[in-house]
Amino acid sequence: MNWSEANQRHLTVALNAVRDALEQRAVEAPAPTGEMSPPPALETLCKLFGLSNFERGILLLCAAVELDSKFAALCAKASGDLRRDYPTFSLALGALPEPHWTALTPAAPLRHWRLIEVLPGQSLTSSPLKIDERVLHYLTGLSQLDERLANLFEPLFAAGDLVDSHRAIAGKIAAILRKISPPPAIQLCGNDSVAKRTVAMASCAATDLRLQVIAGQNLPGDARELDALIRLWEREAVLGSGALLIECEAAENNSAVTHFIERMAGFLFVSSRERRRVCDRAFSYFDIGKPTSAEQRVLWKNAGVNGQLESLAAQFDLGAASIRAASAQVGSPEDLWDACRSQARPRLDDLSQRIETRADWGELVLPAPQKDMLREISAHVRHRAVVYETWGFAQKGARGLGISALFAGASGTGKTLAAEVLANELRLDLYKIDLSQVVSKYIGETEKNLRRVFDAAEEGGAVLLFDEADALFGKRSEVKDSHDRYANIEVSYLLQRMESYRGLAILTTNMKDALDPAFLRRLRFVVQFPFPTAAERMEIWRRMFPAQTPLEKIDPARLAKLCVAGGNIRNIALNAAFLAADANEPVRMNHVLRAARTEYAKIEKPLTPAEIGGWE
């Protein structure tokens, strides 16, 4: 006989004992049905919740009405009232063995754990009693998540592949769960949500716990609803040997999350980016980082990728799940590299503007020293794995290993174009972050916004272009009041993240001279973008019109007399092309002149005779 059949037989015997009690008002305890392994669900439940024999009888009485239609008539007959065809505390006190009043109180197990529900009625003893549906299913041998939790909780089953560093952490957590009672909450910190889930699942598998996960932002805000949810989960955890993982990354300051963590008893994992402090709960903290470079190389190899192992592990900081997803898209080495880029995009796309990079070195008109410095930046990004890891520079310390650059110059001098050229050559994504939108007047918010950007960018080592850096740098000054002090903290935080960022971070400014020299010393590269000379402007004009654009008597030497930067030149050329297309003509000098007048008016600059002499 299997356990399910034996459990059903045991429950039937127990229900028959309740029937005898109703029919004969007997006080004898039900006869045992022999040993079972594992024990019957009824006996397990009574032991888990500490039910007395009387409370056990009340639970069975409520279950009997649901499982056997004849019990309603028995209840009415035993009550002496044909209208009372339901169980009540009054009926139980008169018919069941070992009655005691304490079983009726809200603090007693039956009502505290919501094993039964007191339906509305005239009084406590005469009100109908109803067994909870989840408890009824459990007694019959069916174990499934309470439907009131099913929309909020998600079961997690088999753990994914664990790298050695994560397996060691899972082993430490399992040891804590086995030895400490009651166990502390286990806080898993870091940016890799999948890795944190995997570690939690492995820890639970080692301790025979069933793990469920809930998103912190989905917790109810109403205190009574939240307390009811906590009680339901605690009961579920007892019935199903459950542990809970609450993911707080999107609910950092949610008071409901704090309340839930403080009040919820039992096995609890808390997933967050940084350590979360809760006053009324003991914590054990574990930092779950991405797999090391060596572990990532092993993961790539296990996924069937044999080439590019060094370059992939050096450029991308991917977890096991992302590596599996990227390797599934392999068609060629180029496809694999692009697949890795796409794995890192979703989080950054929500925080910044991704720029499609098509520009190459041929479009960049700069003096030779500036171009040489840009090529040097590219070399640092390409060869950082060799210098940092193979040659051992990373062992000297992590500080200063980030590749950071400041592009300084007037608007339109090519700062953004240079960033595009670098990203295109390195085959990396370029994300433009407007610092004027990141900076907040609220204390701590600027750092939080910056942290989200850098954390999201780490996976792909994208090129980050922080535009309008003056919005932040201009605030750095001598400390005269609290606002100055917090402004300096914001700048220091940005520098610290740039120094540790595994990719390339570029800042742009129009006011290099206003920057603190101490700030400049912490940047690896400072590239000054000068206003283009006449010769450079002529070269820009030569490269500005695409080859397929119809031109007629366009004179780059004469156009170079327009004293504007490359960005303005592009605007003039584009506007001239539209004017020519509207007139169904090739682009001529008169179209460029009209476009130049429009551009000069926009930048509030006079168009001098020296610039357009001989055009008309």
Query: With bands split at pLDDT 50, 70 and 90, how would you rate the model's confidence at 471?
Result: low
Residue-wise pLDDT for 242-255, tens only, equals: 999 999 987 766 78
Residue 97 or 488, more confident: 97
pLDDT at position 31 is 46
Percent residues over pLDDT 90 in the chain? 48
pLDDT at position 472 is 67
pLDDT at position 474 is 55
What are the residues whose beta carbons fall under 8 Å from the beta carbon of 25, sequence distance 6 or more? 78, 94, 95
Amino acid at the residue 368:
A
pLDDT surpasses 80 at 272:
yes
pLDDT at position 281 is 82
Whole-model pTM? 0.77
Residue-wise pLDDT for 147-159, tens only, equals: 889 889 999 877 6
All structural domains of the chain: 3-144 (no CATH), 148-287 (3.40.50.300), 293-350 (no CATH), 355-529 (3.40.50.300), 534-612 (1.10.8.60)
DSSP symbols for 267-297? EEEEEESS----TTS-EEEEE-PPPPHHHHH
pLDDT at position 317 is 86
Cα–Cα distance for residue pair 301/307, rounded to 1 Å:
9
Residue-wise pLDDT for 385-430, tens only, equals: 888 878 888 777 666 678 999 999 998 999 999 999 999 999 999 9
Print the SS3 string covering 132-190.
CHHHHHHHCCCCCCCHHHHCCCEEECCCCCCCHHHHHHHHHHHHHHHHCCCCCEEEEEC
pLDDT at position 510 is 84
pLDDT surpasses 50 at 229:
yes
pLDDT surpasses 60 at 307:
yes
Which residue bears the tokens 């005779």? 609
Q: Is 452 helix (H, G, I), strand (E, B) or coil?
A: helix
Residue-wise pLDDT for 344-399, tens only, equals: 777 777 778 888 888 999 899 999 999 999 999 999 998 888 888 788 887 776 66
What average pLDDT does range 146-175 have in this prediction?
A: 88
pLDDT at position 309 is 80
pLDDT surpasses 50 at 288:
yes
Cα–Cα distance for residue pair 283/428, rounded to 1 Å:
40
Q: Which of 505, 431, 501, 514 is nearest to 471 (CA)?
A: 514
Work out the mean pLDDT of the chain and round it to a whole number.
86
Cα–Cα distance for residue pair 75/81, rounded to 1 Å:
9
Structural Rg of the chain based on CA atoms: 36
Percent residues over pLDDT 70 in the chain? 92
Phi, psi of 236 (to 5 degrees): -60, -40
Residue 555 or 304, more confident: 555
Cα–Cα distance for residue pair 494/488, rounded to 1 Å:
10
pLDDT at position 280 is 76
pLDDT surpasses 90 at 53:
yes
Cα–Cα distance for residue pair 498/162, rounded to 1 Å:
30
pLDDT at position 25 is 52
pLDDT surpasses 60 at 486:
no
Query: With bands split at pLDDT 50, 70 and 90, how would you rate the model's confidence at 481?
Result: very low
Structural contact between residues 423 and 405, judged by C-beta atoms closer than 8 angstroms: no
**Helix locations, 68-115, DSSP H:** 70-79, 89-95, 109-112
pLDDT at position 27 is 40
